[in-house]
Amino acid sequence: MDKLDKAYEADEVELSVGSTDEGYVFDEWEVISGGVTIADDKFTMPDEDVEVKAKFSPISYTVAYDANGGDGQMSDFTLSWGDEQALDACAFTREGYTFAGWQDGDGNTYEDGATVKNLTNVDGSTVTLKAQWTPNAYTVSYDANGGSGTMADQAFTYDAEQALTPCAFTREGYTFAGWNNKADGSGTKVADGISLKLTGDVTLYAQWSKDPVVKNEPKKTVTTEAKKGENKTTKTEAKKNAALPKTGDVASGATMIVTALAGAASLAAGLRKKRQ
């Protein structure tokens, strides 16, 4: 209520609200006594005392939810100054992320379902609460799958590309041939040290390729007896599979004479034609 020191009959009196309490707005003037009509905060002073009272009401504001990269819908709601209300449970989702509460434009944070009150002192304004998201953490486990050695699990974060730890396993008689998410190799093949993104925990099994076995073929020694006065010649060669003779080939009865003369070898073959 404004109290004036003095006013005379027929004077125009202008009222002033002055300061208001936080969270409230001026509504109107209430005439307690004097029977005056107030318009635009003014009235004409009658021939009696006048008492008026300023009336205030709490502000109202809207609370809105923002998915902030997530999916889904949530309805706004309205609050008045002094009233409190629990936030709706988050209905938003985001692939690869976990909901981590709300945050307003001033950086204030709120847990899911928290009770809120007096979020703003501006009448008719909107307070937007943005969903906060934490990327999911995943683990890659390495399995020697018959090999030897140890490899620590590797931590990954959703949507963050990272290189796999190079294989540290060994297996006697085998060569490492990459990874697979199935022990028998029937799943997805994964190259060693490749950079990738994960969408869940995974175990990678080492794949092994058996080393080839090297066989040493036995050798045979062929010795040809020289005639009297000639040098004896010895020749060692790898054993080979003998091919079957074909029609027109030299008969198996062909004779061979090896003669060594003064360190130079000459070869004469006497061949006998096959009988028709």
The yes-or-no verdict on residue 236 having pLDDT over 50 is: no
Last residue of a domain, one of 95, 116, 135: 135
Domain that residue 45 falls in: 12-58
Q: Give the whole-angstrom CA distance, residue 162 versus residue 67.
A: 28
228: confidence class by pLDDT, cuts 50, 70, 90: low
- On whether residue 4 sits in a domain, the answer given is no
> In Å, how far are 54, 65, 115, 196, 226 from 112, measured between CA atoms?
40, 12, 9, 33, 105
Same domain, 74 and 131: yes
Same domain, 123 and 92: yes
Percent of the chain having pLDDT more than 70?
A: 76
pLDDT at 16 (0 to 100): 85
> Are 39 and 65 in contact, with CB atoms under 8 Å apart?
no
Residue 94: CATH number of its domain: 2.60.40
pLDDT tens per residue across span 144-187: 999 999 999 999 999 999 999 999 999 999 999 999 999 999 99
pLDDT at 108 (0 to 100): 97
The yes-or-no verdict on residue 223 having pLDDT over 90 is: no
pLDDT at 219 (0 to 100): 62
pLDDT at 53 (0 to 100): 87
- On whether residue 82 sits in a domain, the answer given is yes
pLDDT at 241 (0 to 100): 43
Q: Is 15 exposed, middle or buried (0-12, 13-18, 19+ CB in 10 A)?
A: middle
- On whether residue 98 sits in a domain, the answer given is yes
Same domain, 66 and 131: yes
- On whether residue 7 sits in a domain, the answer given is no
Q: Give the whole-angstrom CA distance, residue 255 versus residue 238.
A: 22
Last residue of a domain, one of 210, 245, 267: 210
Number of domains in the chain: 4
Residue 148: CATH number of its domain: 2.60.40.4270
The yes-or-no verdict on residue 68 having pLDDT over 70 is: yes
> Are 218 and 231 in contact, with CB atoms under 8 Å apart?
no
Tell me what the pLDDT averaged over the chain comes to.
83
> Are 202 and 140 in contact, with CB atoms under 8 Å apart?
yes
What's the predicted TM-score (pTM) here? 0.63
The top-scoring range by mean pLDDT among 1-15, 123-137, 253-267 is: 123-137
pLDDT at 217 (0 to 100): 66
